[in-house]
Amino acid sequence: MVTVLVVVAGSTAFVFAASAAFLGGVSQADLYVFSGPDTVPLPLAFDHFDACAGNLNNDVDVVGNSWLAPTADWRCQSAASRVRNRKQTTTADSATVDVGQSDHVVLSTFVNRASRTVSAAGSGLSLFHDGSSFHLYVVYQRGADQITLGKVDGSGDTEIASWSWLPRNNTIDFLVEIDQPEITIYADSMLVANYTMTASELTTFGSNTRFGLESDFDGRSRWSWFRVEELVP
């Protein structure tokens, strides 16, 4: 039926008559056709790093957000952003964009080459970054076979919780839903954990609107893309 309507759009009477016959006697008066605009909402942030000029800092994503990566360790190369090899000298290093909201968001990224070291280097997502240093993070520590949720605040870098993640793999697909105070973590389409932010964490991090990539003592991981979308109720 849809194909007929499209192909013979100029022959309305013929279409209605044929439709009535096909539907077993439905009156032409009972048939109508309508159309309307269909909008697809843009993500709050999206980048696949193909157009990056080299240094990710101040580069602009597809939506128009500017990356903040002040350590200059974040470098781009063909179809992958990565932390330049500095032999794991940097801990809890973030590259973030400001998405303008801190709640009801979904973050996702694909790490296509995860670091594996004896120090359990981590690579993943940076959450609720204040643009200076305070933030939460979710990383895959391939060398330790675990996924870790941590935070950086006035007390330093603290691991909040870790969950075993096997089998050990070179890649990981992260998705994190934020519906404060709940943080729900998925990896490779499987639920990892649900974490409830404490009152103190909500006060420290809850209003921060920067999200992005996280590297923890990691010198070789690569991210294929990064996206932030509105969390659908």
* pLDDT higher than threshold 70 for residue 19: no
Name the residue among 33, 39, 45 with its Cα closest to residue 2.
Answer: 33
pLDDT of residue 2: 39
Per the CB < 8 A criterion, the answer to whether 76 and 53 are in contact is yes
CA-derived radius of gyration, the chain: 24
Average pLDDT over residues 83-95: 72
Report how far residue 215's alpha carbon sits from residue 121's, in angstroms, rounded to the nearest whole number: 8
Report how far residue 42's alpha carbon sits from residue 233's, in angstroms, rounded to the nearest whole number: 17
* pLDDT higher than threshold 70 for residue 23: no
Interacting residues of 116 by C-beta distance below 8 A, sequence separation 6+: 142, 143, 168
pLDDT of residue 152: 96
* pLDDT higher than threshold 80 for residue 10: no
Report how far residue 63's alpha carbon sits from residue 163's, in angstroms, rounded to the nearest whole number: 33
Average pLDDT over residues 160-182: 96
- Average of per-residue pLDDT values in the chain: 83
Only one residue has tokens 């697809």, namely: 40
Is the pTM value of this prediction over 0.85?
no
Instruction: Return the higher-pLDDT residue of 17 and 229.
Output: 229
Report how far residue 212's alpha carbon sits from residue 40's, in angstroms, rounded to the nearest whole number: 23
Where residue 26 falls among pLDDT bands split at 50, 70, 90? low
Report how far residue 128's alpha carbon sits from residue 151's, in angstroms, rounded to the nearest whole number: 10
Instruction: Give 144-204 as a DSSP string.
Output: GTEEEEEEEETTEEEEEEEEE--S--S-EEEEEEEETTEEEEEETTEEEEEEEPPHHHHHH
What's CA 43's distance to the chain center, in Å? 10
Instruction: Return the higher-pLDDT residue of 28 and 90.
Output: 90
Domain with CATH 2.60.120.560 in the chain: 45-230
Average pLDDT over residues 193-204: 98
Where residue 38 falls among pLDDT bands split at 50, 70, 90? low
Span 126-160, pLDDT tens digits:
999 999 999 999 999 998 899 999 999 999 999 99
* pLDDT higher than threshold 70 for residue 32: no
* pLDDT higher than threshold 50 for residue 4: no
* CATH class of residue range 45-230: mainly beta
